[in-house]
Structure 1
Amino acid sequence: MNFLNEVTHRYPETISFAPGRPYDGFFEVEQIFTHIRRYLRHLEEQGASPAEIRDTLFQYGPTGGRIRELIADSLRKDENIDVPPEAVVVTVGCQEAMFLALRALVSMPEDVLLVSSPCYPGITGAARILGFEPTPVPERAAGFHCADLQTALAAERARGRRPRAFYVVPDHSNPSGNTMSLEERHSLLELADREDILVLEDSPYRLVSPGQQVPTLKSLDRYRRVVHLGSYSKTLFPGARVGFAVADQHVVDREGNAGLLADELTKLKSMVTVNTSPLAQAVVGGMLLAADGRTSDLNAETSAHYGAAMKAVLKELDANFPERDRAALGVRWNEPGGGFFLGVDVPFRADNAALVRSAEEYGVVWTPMSYFHPQGGGERSLRLSISYLTHDDIVEGIARLARFIRAEAPGGD
């Protein structure tokens, strides 16, 4: 990813389909102060004294977070996830939530984390920092299938290893854009209960995607097998770096004390970041209060924008690669109904060298899909992000990409 950033900065005039950043057009600086004031009024209405309000902003605060109640209320209204506030841990972005969950669950040499592959590199990076390699479960063209996880679990147990958890982005996943069907979600939950593993559900793109969404794994979970990892970076305010983990599983610690998995994550957090910035929590808390916890309402315009951007990319791909040409060229892509990403299969190695040629000669940047495969794969695929570009940039960018792909194809210009 450092190489990708280097290429982008080396060729600043390129059109970049690489960054999965939210669109800047939705942010106004003055909103920050409005949200903080709203949160402070909320504290006052709750009976907090001026000294307590001051401490809320200036002091460290509880490790588990100051806005757990607001997050739990929002999850109930937005996602039908009904958990007590004490099952929520407020984290520094979703990345810390991942790190804490892995540290809590994978502690012995025989413990194994499985990941749906291709996958978000943040989870594999966190695993490597903690000293272990995750086991990939390859996605099919249409996305995740439980049968493939079942096979991987059996293989790991045959090696004398203990599968602990399976990480997946079930909705509009990064990088493929695929969404898990409702049937597969039910099958996954039944499999997790039968095989005694947890599911780490990371789903940041649901509420910035148009239309009715498939229920979250956590809302369908009747076995307490899902640890839901969340973030407000895509839905509210990326710069706040506020995420959360929902971990309502009952556990017994090494001293024999019963509690929630969230308590264990909080203990770990106290040794990592101590707490999440109270000022950042105040901004997010004010935004949640503004929408009465319904972030889906706050994101109506946002989801429409991203939905239109995805449609524009798909329309331009269709226009630049007529159906009669696709088979001959060896070009294919999927058609996500939301999220920030889609995958394009190409008839050449989409590696770093190809990326440099694309930027230097054609003025367009993308992400090699191989970046997202933990143990190899994706060498002839690339990821396109639709989130950060205007409509005009999309039209011109796809035209440049098409010229590059045609030139790189065997027998091309």
Structure 2
Amino acid sequence: MSPGEVGPLRKAELHPSLADPVLDTMNFLNEITHRYPEAISFAPGRPYDGFFDVEEIFTHLRRYLDHLTARGTPAAGVRDALFQYGPTAGQIRELIADSLRKDENIDVRPEAVVVTVGCQEAMFLVLRALIARPDDVLMVSTPCYVGITGAARLQGIEVIPVEEDRSGFRCSDLAAALASERARGRRPRAFYVVPDHSNPSGTTMSLQERHELLALAAREDFLVLEDSPYRLVSPGRQLPTLKSLDREHRVVHLGSFSKTLFPGARVGFAVADQPVVDEDGRTGLLADELAKIKSMITVNTSPLSQAVVAGMLLAADGRAAELNTRTSAYYGEAMRAILQRLDECLPQQDRDALGVRWNKPEGGFFLTVDTPFRADDAALTRSAEDHGVIWTPMSYFYPQGGGHHSLRLSVSYLTPAEISEGVARLTQFLKAESARTG
């Protein structure tokens, strides 16, 4: 090292969250995928590429510009809508509010919407605003999407898991966890849940549990962070969102157009209509506070991305559900195909002998398989190398450990032929690994 040259940084002196295994999970999956390119991967929860058309981007963009002109926006304003920073809270809030009202029966003013860089930023902003004291904690339904736990740990927020059973979330378990945390001197500030076709388990919260959760939130004074990206890409009639049932401003609805339109736009949003009162008695909205935080993180969401998303919404008069008629049918058929193929490759007698079972989601991208062996990174490597099939260990989704004998399968990114061959390979892996571990 030459005189004056800076030596290597010590990892122990960086933020402690960087040593958390949850931050390495996606990198490990990407590394496995690149190391075994011929393997069929059930790991990525990304939309199917076959629905994307490059030329349509320009059509959507032009539609939004025409919309601005028709509203009387001068040429300079149209230009600024694409080239300038734009309002921190977003320039398409009215269109998003209109879409939520038509698709989800969520009736909020545009001022309650903050447009974010994907749903991930929305999570980060809400956690930063709500978790204010050292004794504040975030409750999460577990197994849990790694994005929320990662966002919490990057901010030094303690995550308290509320574990699902095989049928999904139960309000009684959350009530018990709340009592336990309060007994420890903690303040449960918010509860994060994916109520519809959840990532990673694929479970859906019943209507009764939804009503009970809202009643519990009002009684115990906490907010519910609702994240439901898979509703409009799932077949059939969906249960009402928690936000549409919310009469006491207890739900912050976290949304994204990544699954319903296209992920490359990186446009998400938070619906935060909770009143906020300052020391002088002035009342605003939680959305206003989120916009303040956003102004110091990403400044604003790409106006170009917002314009394309707006053009797509305008094409369907705000009804994003209509834009997803084909996609929801495709994903529904993909889920039926994998469940049928699993039954073919592992009939009841065979899976009982092996000790293997799986759930049967009615929508979304994911299902889970329970195994008699540890479905860990080492097993995943053997699966990719020896059998040419990749999946996600469920242990990635348990903030305080668990899920060691389960794996997640995603059906969203594969063709029917790939699903069929992938399940055949997975079956061989399950049999070989079960034999290897006795």
Alignment of 1:7-406 (within 5 A): 7-253=32-278, 256-406=281-431
The aligned residue for residue 31 of structure 2 is 6
| Partner SS, residue 158 of structure 2 | coil
1:4 deviation in Å? Answer: 1.0
Could you tell me how far apart the structure 2 residues matched to 1:71 and 1:310 are?
29
| Total equivalences in the alignment | 413
Distance 1:286 1:16 in 2: 33
TM-aligned CA deviation for residue 113 of structure 1: 0.5
Distance 2:431 2:280 in 1: 63
Q: CA deviation at 1:411?
A: 6.7
Give the C-alpha shift of residue 255 in structure 1.
6.2
CA distance in 1, matches of 2:262, 2:347: 39
SS state of the match for residue 232, structure 2?
A: helix
**Partner Cα distance (2:279, 2:419) in 1:** 54
Displacement, 1:334? 0.4
**Corresponding position of 2:21:** none
CA shift digits 1:215-256 (9 cap, x unpaired)? 000001111100000000000011000000000010124665
SS in 2 for 1:134: strand
Q: Is the 8 A contact 2:373 2:437 kept in 1?
A: no
CA deviation profile, 1:353-403 (whole Å, cap 9, x unmatched): 000000000000000000000000000000000000000000000000000
1:404 partner amino acid = F
CA distance in 2, matches of 1:133, 1:157: 14
Contact 2:338–2:419 (8 Å) recurs in 1: yes
Question: How far apart, CA to CA, are the structure 2 residues paired with 1:300 and 1:130?
Answer: 39
Flag structure 2 segments of 5+ consecutive residues without an equivalent. Answer: 1-25
Structure 1 95/254 Cα, relative in aligned 2: closer, same or farther at 3 Å? farther
CA spacing shift, 1:285–1:17, aligned 2, 3 Å: same
- Give the counterpart letter for 2:50 in structure 1: G
Instruction: Measure, in 1, the Cα distance between the counterparts of 2:135 and 2:177.
Output: 15
320-329 vs 95-104, which moves further: 320-329
Superposed displacement of residue 17, structure 1: 0.1
| Partners of 1:406 and 1:412 within 8 A in 2 | no
Q: For the residues of structure 1 that align with 2:348 and 2:388, how far apart are their CA atoms? A: 25
Contact 2:90 2:114 in 1 (8 A): yes
Report the alpha carbon displacement of residue 408 of structure 1 after superposing the two structures with TM. 1.0
Structure 1 unpaired stretches of 5+: none
Is the Cα contact below 8 Å between 1:370 and 1:377 reproduced in 2?
A: yes
Does the aligned pair in 1 maintain the 2:60–2:308 contact within 8 Å? Answer: yes
Matched-pair contact (CA < 8 Å) for 1:347–1:410: no
Q: Over residues 165-204 of structure 1, what are the superposed CA-to-partner deviations in whole Å (9 max), with x where a residue is unaligned?
A: 0000000000000000000000000000000000000000
SS in 1 for 2:363: coil
AA matched with 1:200: L
Residue by residue over 1:139-169, the C-alpha shift from the partner in whole angstroms, topping out at 9 and shown as x without a partner, is 0110000000000000000000111100000
Cα RMSD after superposing both structures: 1.0
TM-score (norm 1): 0.99
Deviation at 1:212, TM superposition (A): 0.4
| SS of 2:89 mapped into structure 1 | coil
Identity of aligned residues (%): 75
Structure 1 residue 321, shift from structure 2 partner: 0.9
Judge conservation of contact 2:218–2:248 (CA < 8 Å) in 1: yes
TM-fit CA distance, 1:409: 1.0
CA distance in 2, matches of 1:85, 1:254: 25
